[in-house]
Structure 1
Amino acid sequence: MSSNFRMMMERYLQLIRLRYDVRRGYFTAALPLVIALLILFSAVMTGHTFPSQQLDSSFSGGSLSEEDAKKAAYQALVAQMEAEEAGIDPATLEERPAEEGEETARDNLDHILVYALLIGIIPYSIDSFFQKKNQMKKEVAFSEFLFKMSELMRGGIDPVKAVIDLAKTDLGSMNSPIKSAASKMVLGYSFSDAMGGVAEEMNSNLISKYINVVVQAAYTGGNVADLLQRTSEDMRAVIAIEREKESNLKQYVIIFYLAQGIVIMLSYLLSTSLLPMIQGVGAQMLGGVGLSDINFQYGFFHMILLNGLFGGLIIGQISEGELKHGLKHSAILIIGSYIACTILILPTLDAASLYSVDLVSGDGQSGFGGLTLTEPLVFQVVDKDGNPVPDTFVYLSIAPSGMVSGVLETDDGGNVSVSPVLGDSIGAYTITAQIGDSTAVAMASVIDGS
């Protein structure tokens, strides 16, 4: 019952393929690509966007315009006075939390793009991998078929009879095409037409080349058995050379994978050590954009994923001679890089949003313009549980003028200490410490020294 059902299903599938020309690529390439595009389209239509490559100006540590700085200082001073009148500690004031139902920015389109890309390339890359493995098996099986055919022809059997006899034996991966060729010969097809069908079904340039040799030898005459034996040996030698070449090129595959790992580690070190220090300087680049305004972490994230995509394609071209065979390497590199980035690089941005910074001491001092305050300002960074956060960077700014370290790293107690230099103008000044979305403001004033 099961064998009859299997034969019936195979017959229906064959009829569908013949009638509608259903190709394998429709399911392994076209369909996943359509699904990936639909996912991207849905994400865009529902408001997902790419994250901004620029940080908020308040987070940059750079200087504000004089008018905006004075306005901010005045507003901070008024808020502090109102808090003191109400008996509230100004240090406990926090920004208004988002109300329930308030719409938040969904800037995760780059993550969705990664998922869509993997959906689009993984099915085709897996199919290409197994197709190549099957093709290699068929090429080996065909070389054995040629050897067996030569042995039969040594006994005086003609090529057509040899193929029909071999179709009754177990030929491994060549069972189906050889049986089809034998059936065609029984029905009256010529030897060349039947073997041409084998070449078309195998879809292998190597097999097609040697089938052409076999057909020409069969029609030319002479010692065909010896020719087939030498052809079989030659084909085995070619297969062995191809395998040896791929084995020798594996070292370059390893080098590409190691290079991707090095790129990830360098990006991690830059984003956690060097760049926070540079960003605090606020140096100006071309176009008037400061270094402190650039979101380097997301830039590294995008660069690493693009390097993984194109690096995998290059691996396929070098090691296997076709770009499509590099898609599996691209998928592996993208998955590995994405996991590494979400663990090492992007959390430097996400973690900052979970921290808060508070003013510990030094608020409300007065001094002379152009001089440092008498006591240093001390700020502390804590996590959501109130525990101090060491070894994290705090961005500092002073308004409306003056000098302050652009960025400082917290000590073991989560504290940073800074001694700002006030501007020359008499009046109120604000010194702001910020990490993520959390800010703490210290007030100071310049008095008349005359």
Structure 2
Amino acid sequence: MTSPDLKGFKALNIEKYRLITKRYAQVLTVRYNVKREYITLGIPVFLAICIVLAGVLTGHTLTTKDTSQSTEADSKKDAYQQLLEDMATEEAAKNGNVTPIEEPVAAEDVKDEAKDDLDHIMIYAVLIAIIPYSLDSYIQKKLLNRREVAFSEFLYKLSELMRGGIDPVKGVVTLSRTTDLGAIAPNVQEAASAMLLGSSFEDAMHRMARSINSKLVSKYINIVVQAAYTGGNVADLLFRTSEDMRTVIAIEKDKEANLKQYIVIFYLAQGIIVALAYILSTSLLPLIQGVGLEMLGGGNGLSEINFERGFFHMIILNALFGGLIVGMITEGEIKHGMKHSAVLIALSYVACVTLILSAGGGMYTIKLVSGDGQQALGGLPIQDPLVFNVTDFSGKQTPGVYVEMTISPSGIISGVMSGENGTVSVTPTPGETPGNYTVTATKGKSSAIATIEVVGGSGGS
């Protein structure tokens, strides 16, 4: 077998299997009344629900609280307790009371970090649920527009044939064989085949209307059928019907073009919301946390709220419902807004992850630079300040970042903003009880610890 013959054989097999698949799909559709929505919407929604349930069952949670606060508090407490134990052991060893024995380090139970990313999983699930249906709706709408235009051309060509003395049935059959009918060619051919097999003109045309599935086409097909049965100058009536249909299609196109400005407005509004949330997360909220909460007496409840995560949820919800509103306003149906919701959610999600969520501190690293291990009198500020350095994920110095400060077990300290070179300098006042104190600087999930040894009270004990 030559190479061209082999290619032709392969092409024949591909076409054969394509026709077999199409036939079985048609049989299933007719027998079980399978609608497109079952595949484009039902299956994706089922998959989305499975994804969310899997996330819940595997321990993922949805929270707006800053869960890193409790983890950091536990780590501070553990570090402080370990420091006290080490100092006590060293002191006892120096006094000769206890001989330090190196004990094997016991294997600690490793706890899984809190998986508070269920909201991210839900966003992926929503996109999986709506993208197939929105794409199918968009494609079907474009196809429907092409079919309506092609049907207006079909009416015009049928009117020309009838001017030449051909009856409507023969006109439809002739057009199905000799004319390029564009998007409605299969529908006209099906109607012509039905007429040749004995179906009436009315039944065949109504079947074509159902297959095209357009309210506009159905309305004009009713006019064509009534004109064919009432008689008179049917050709002129079909011609005027064709012109009227073209006018209606042109008006609809102009209407959609004029309403597209609302799409731009909604997209710009979503961008403005993202920009405002970013400004609040990077400028105003750190200032409130650094100065306002101290003036209000600490504000422990407010300090635990993850404002960035709240902004994230607000933006995604606005994208979802805003897209549906856009579809309702511009195209008259909510289902056509799903494509706008999908686009807005995807763009907003990328913007939030890149700009807003990272502003919460997850992308920062803080390290102790100097001042560790000082001795001080209780109740008095330490002599040399503690200096910490704050950098971003790329190692660049980050000025204007609020750093939370705590001292344990007691003392006076407040959070500060990083300077121009990304450094933070604090002079804490430890409590009056002699012992070891820890100062912890925290930014998001990163923290650094400095130690202070209090040797006596300020009263000179």
TM-score, scaled to structure 1: 0.83
**Map of 2:39 onto structure 1:** 27
Q: Match for residue 156 of structure 1?
A: 165
Report deviation, 1:221.
2.1
1:53 aligns with 2:65: yes
Is the 8 Å Cα contact of residues 316 and 324 (structure 1) preserved in structure 2? yes
Q: Kindly state the Cα deviation for residue 380 of structure 1 after the two structures are TM-superposed.
A: 3.1
Residue 351 of structure 2 is aligned with which of 326, 334, 340?
A: 340
Matched, 1:201 2:214: no
Q: Which residue of 1 aligns with 2:415?
A: 406
SS of the residue corresponding to residue 425 of structure 2 reads strand
Alpha-carbon distance, 1:271 to partner: 1.3
Question: C-alpha displacement at 1:400, in angstroms?
Answer: 5.9
| 1:105 maps onto 2:114 in alignment | yes
Structure 2 matches for 1:216-295, cutoff 5 A? 216-280=226-290, 281-282=292-293, 290-295=301-306
Give 1:78 shift.
2.4
Residue among 164, 171, 190 paired with 1:180: 190
Deviation at 1:199, TM superposition (A): 1.2
Report if aligned partners of 2:438, 2:449 keep a CA contact under 8 Å in 1.
no
Work out whether residues 363 and 444 of structure 1, in 8 Å CA contact, stay in contact via their aligned partners in 2.
yes
Task: Name the CA shift for 1:277/1:402 in 2 (closer, same or farther; >3 Å).
Answer: farther
Q: Is the 8 A contact 1:368 1:449 kept in 2?
A: no
Residue 13 of structure 1 deviates from its aligned partner by 3.0
* Superposed displacement of residue 398, structure 1: 4.0
Query: Does structure 1 conserve the Cα–Cα contact (< 8 Å) formed by 2:386 and 2:426?
Result: yes
Kindly report which structure 2 residues correspond to 1:117-136, keeping only aligned pairs within 5 A, or say none: 117-136=126-145
Q: Tell me, yes or no, if the aligned pair for 1:359 and 1:442 is still in contact at 8 Å.
A: no
Deviations 1:255-291 (A, max 9, x none): 2111111211221221122212212343799xx8622
**RMSD, aligned CA:** 3.5
What does residue 87 of structure 2 align with?
81
Equivalent position SS for 1:53: coil
1:300-449 matches, cutoff 5 A: 300-349=311-360, 351-352=362-363, 355-358=365-368, 360-361=370-371, 364-367=374-377, 369=379, 372-381=381-390, 389-391=397-399, 392-398=401-407, 403-412=412-421, 414-420=422-428, 431-435=439-443, 436-443=445-452, 445=454, 446-448=457-459
- Following superposition, the deviation at residue 9 of structure 1 comes to 4.2
Question: Can you list the C-alpha shifts for 1:147-181, whole angstroms capped at 9, x where unaligned?
Answer: 11111111222222222222213211111111222
Q: CA deviation at 1:443?
A: 2.7
Report what 1:137 is aligned to.
Answer: 146
* Deviation of 1:83 (Å): 8.4
- Residues matched between the structures, number: 428
CA-to-aligned-CA distance 1:85-136 (integer Å, 9 cap, x gap): 599xxxxxxxx9x969653332222221111111111111111110000000
1:42 maps to 54
Q: Which moved more, 1:230-239 or 1:249-258?
A: 249-258
**Pair 1:73–1:228, CA change in 2 (3 A):** closer
Deviation at 1:234, TM superposition (A): 0.9
CA 1:214–1:431: 2 relative to 1, 3 Å: same
Quote how far apart the aligned CAs of 1:75 are. Answer: 4.3
Q: Which moved more, 1:389-398 or 1:127-136?
A: 389-398
**Which residue of structure 2 aligns with residue 297 of structure 1?**
308
In 1, the alpha carbon distance for the partners of 2:171 and 2:83 equals 100
Q: Quick check: 1:53–1:299 contact (8 Å CA) kept in 2?
A: no
Establish whether residue 16 from structure 1 lines up as the match of residue 22 from structure 2: no
Tell me the alpha carbon deviations over residues 417-449 of structure 1, each in whole angstroms, 9 at most, x when there is no partner: 1234567x6656654322324231443654216
Farther off after superposition, 336-345 or 118-127: 336-345
- Give ranges in structure 2 of 5+ residues lacking alignment: 1-11, 95-104
Structure 2 counterpart of 1:334, one-letter code:
I
Q: Is the 8 A contact 1:376 1:418 kept in 2?
A: yes
Q: Is the 8 A contact 1:150 1:226 kept in 2?
A: yes
Contact 1:278 1:292 in 2 (8 A): no
**Aligned letter for 1:326?**
G
Provide the C-alpha distance between the structure 2 equivalents of 1:227 and 1:433, rounded to a whole number of angstroms.
84
Distance in 1 (alpha carbons) for counterparts of 2:396 and 2:209: 71
| Aligned CA distance change for structure 1 residues 7 and 46 (closer, same or farther; 3 Å) | closer
The 8 Å contact of residues 50 and 108 in structure 1, kept in 2 or not, is answered as yes
Cα distance in 1 for partners of 2:393, 2:245 equals 68
Report the CA distance shift for 1:362/1:411 in structure 2 as closer, same or farther (over 3 A).
farther
Contact 1:394 1:433 in 2 (8 A): yes
Counterpart code for 1:170: D
User: In the alignment, is the contact (CA less than 8 A) between 2:67 and 2:114 conserved in 1?
Assistant: no
User: Retained in 1: the 8 A contact 2:323–2:341?
Assistant: yes
Q: Who is 1:191 aligned against? A: 201
Matched-pair contact (CA < 8 Å) for 2:371–2:450: no
Query: Within 1, Cα distance between the matches of 2:355 and 2:391?
Result: 20
Distance 1:284 1:239, change over 3 A: farther
Q: Structure 1 stretch 181-190 or stretch 171-180: which is displaced more?
A: 181-190
Task: State the one-letter code of the partner of 2:351.
Answer: A
Distance 2:206 2:313 in 1: 49
Contact 2:378 2:434 in 1 (8 A): no
Paired letter, 2:43: L
3-state SS, counterpart of residue 346 of structure 1 = helix
CA distance in 1, matches of 2:203, 2:136: 29
Identical counterparts, % of pairs: 52
| Mapped partners of 1:188, 1:203: distance in 2 | 23
Give the Cα–Cα distance (whole angstroms) in 2 for the partners of residues 27 and 74 of structure 1: 59
Name structure 1 gaps, 5 residues minimum: 62-68, 88-95
- Where 2:208 maps in the other structure, the secondary structure is helix
What is the CA distance between 1:390 and its match in structure 2? 2.9
Residue 293 (structure 1) shift: 1.1
Partner deviation per Cα, 1:333-366 (whole Å, 9 max, x = no partner): 11111111222122234645x6243261175353
Aligned partners of 1:60 and 1:251: how far apart in 2?
49
